[in-house]
Structure 1
């Protein structure tokens, strides 16, 4: 179901009239010897919203959305190992693969006591979140997909890492690092496809770039970018899972995304014909300039399905 981009007066009122949100708490939990940081807000016992971040971000990308949703929902937003404020195990001892991250987040869900949840996934969050959902098929009660891969699409953004995917050589890895571990690439994810770049707070991509350069974080990041090449079968399984389960789904996405265009995101409807789709005039990091609109649509959607 393709929905007009314009935020309705009713949807705006949901955000404007919401009750005071619960203060966010910043916690850590041990998962198999790895300290996993997470943000938690909202009333225990309320429906849970699990937020899974993208690359090279962290749960910090959800700060505004957590504030918006915590008035009615119990929100959890973890950082993956190697990202944000979670520990950065040496990649010689910890496998930075999506299977590994899926295992960590699955154990995180159990450890913090989440029984059922609505998943908000963006970018890497889908590759991690679908793995978690497929292991416990009845726990994901709704899906919000924001610039989130379910169908691979060829993109020039991936061009510099293709030689590394093909050979796995040290030289191709170094060349990939020299490209992706730059401020220009991180900034580009925020500003490419955005009609008004002045709406983007530069501290967002500057802080992510700084976090990316920490000891160990760069290797963790590059290991995961290398592992992207393995996700075809997992995404095929995720497509079958979603088609069979038909969870209530909101796709709210930047249509000008250089990685997952609006055309790519419309493919969700081939599996989930009842899904609600909003194509926003934004890029890959749509929360950065469309946070109020996304929060409003999320409130309306979650209020209807949870």
Structure 2
């Protein structure tokens, strides 16, 4: 089993934690996590990829073991998180890579691809949205309302997403056998987002999420013009980003695979082998 190294680097004055494995001279794949987790979501996937790939999985600023400066001292936006990630990759000398994105990792990854289209060799999206089709409105209505008019009327609904029950729901909804999901996942995530002041960090990103939607037409243009291969492997029962979000990539990507799996939002927790199988076969056939 390949060794996984747990490292930190200083980017723009902030300590960023990242997991790294595999040969340094192998093709690189960058794994970008979502809310409310960290690179921990890839802990089982990384060793399965590291035999043939150089794998890098950072914790976004404000998440996991990376620094979490107070929201009053750092402007938490998806632009800012993408800038930190870009800085980390530059520091590590990574200038050509495949992207694996999930949830928040998607808008961060889209910004990297749009800023440096020549660097992206392939895109893997696992419940990482890039189309209006993907939004399950029953989930997103409160987020849009808070982004449009943040305040005491709209905040309680989104603040509830920080609760243990809401985080547990993200892991278990849509999973045919919930007993396959390790409860350490939601307890670990809840402990980290419950750190003093981290609620303000997460609320800032909830407010900023609406800035991701205007990027979608540019993303679609990138997919059409670049011909970058795309693998969309998706929990078909996800009630945050629905399966239409996976199917939509076939409209613009010229080389695309779409696989809908009988799972939920955090598919790696219940269907690791299925996702890893699709991913390895995809990476074997795409150019590095």
Partner residue, 1:76: 56
Instruction: Provide closer, same or farther for how the CA distance between residues 263 and 38 of structure 1 changes in structure 2, counting only shifts above 3 A.
Output: same
Q: CA deviation at 1:160?
A: 3.1
Aligned mate of 1:100, from 80, 85, 109: 80
Q: Which segments of 5 or more consecutive residues in structure 2 lack a partner in the other structure?
A: none
The answer to whether 1:168 aligns with 2:136 is no
Instruction: Provide closer, same or farther for how the CA distance between residues 260 and 161 of structure 1 changes in structure 2, counting only shifts above 3 A.
Output: closer
Partner residue, 1:14: none
Partner residue, 1:115: 95
What is the CA–CA distance in structure 1 between the aligned matches of 2:156 and 2:162, rounded to whole Å? Answer: 10
What is the CA–CA distance in structure 1 between the aligned matches of 2:229 and 2:146, rounded to whole Å? Answer: 38
Partner residue, 2:65: 85
What is the CA–CA distance in structure 1 between the aligned matches of 2:191 and 2:137, rounded to whole Å? Answer: 25
What is the CA–CA distance in structure 1 between the aligned matches of 2:206 and 2:196, rounded to whole Å? Answer: 17
Aligned mate of 1:304, from 266, 285, 288: 285
User: Normalization by structure 1: what TM-score?
Assistant: 0.90
The structure with higher relative contact order (CA 8 Å, sep 6+) is 1
Q: CA deviation at 1:265?
A: 1.2
Deviations 1:182-241 (A, max 9, x none): 111111111111111111111111111111101222211111111111212112211111
Equivalent positions of 1:256-295 (< 5 A) are 256-295=237-276
Contact 1:29 / 1:35 at 8 angstroms: preserved in 2? Answer: yes
What is the CA–CA distance in structure 2 between the aligned matches of 1:120 and 1:90, rounded to whole Å? Answer: 28
Deviations 1:25-80 (A, max 9, x none): 11111111111000000011000010000001100000110010011100000001
Aligned residues: 285
Which 4+ stretches in 1 moved above 6 angstroms? none
What is the CA–CA distance in structure 2 between the aligned matches of 1:136 and 1:274, rounded to whole Å? Answer: 20
Partner residue, 1:217: 198
Partner residue, 2:137: 155
- Residue aligned with 1:300, SS: helix
Which has the higher mean CA deviation after the structures are superposed, 104-113 or 162-171? 162-171
What is the CA–CA distance in structure 1 between the aligned matches of 2:13 and 2:20, rounded to whole Å? Answer: 21
Which has the higher mean CA deviation after the structures are superposed, 75-84 or 21-30? 21-30
What is the CA–CA distance in structure 2 between the aligned matches of 1:39 and 1:284, rounded to whole Å? Answer: 22
Contact 2:22 / 2:55 at 8 angstroms: preserved in 1? Answer: yes
Equivalent positions of 1:115-134 (< 5 A) are 115-134=95-114
Q: CA deviation at 1:279?
A: 0.4
Aligned mate of 1:200, from 176, 181, 186: 181
Q: CA deviation at 1:126?
A: 0.7
Contact 1:155 / 1:258 at 8 angstroms: preserved in 2? Answer: no
Q: CA deviation at 1:148?
A: 0.8
- Residue aligned with 2:72, SS: coil
- Residue aligned with 1:201, SS: coil
Equivalent positions of 1:61-72 (< 5 A) are 61-72=41-52
What is the CA–CA distance in structure 1 between the aligned matches of 2:152 and 2:20, rounded to whole Å? Answer: 40
Q: CA deviation at 1:181?
A: 1.2
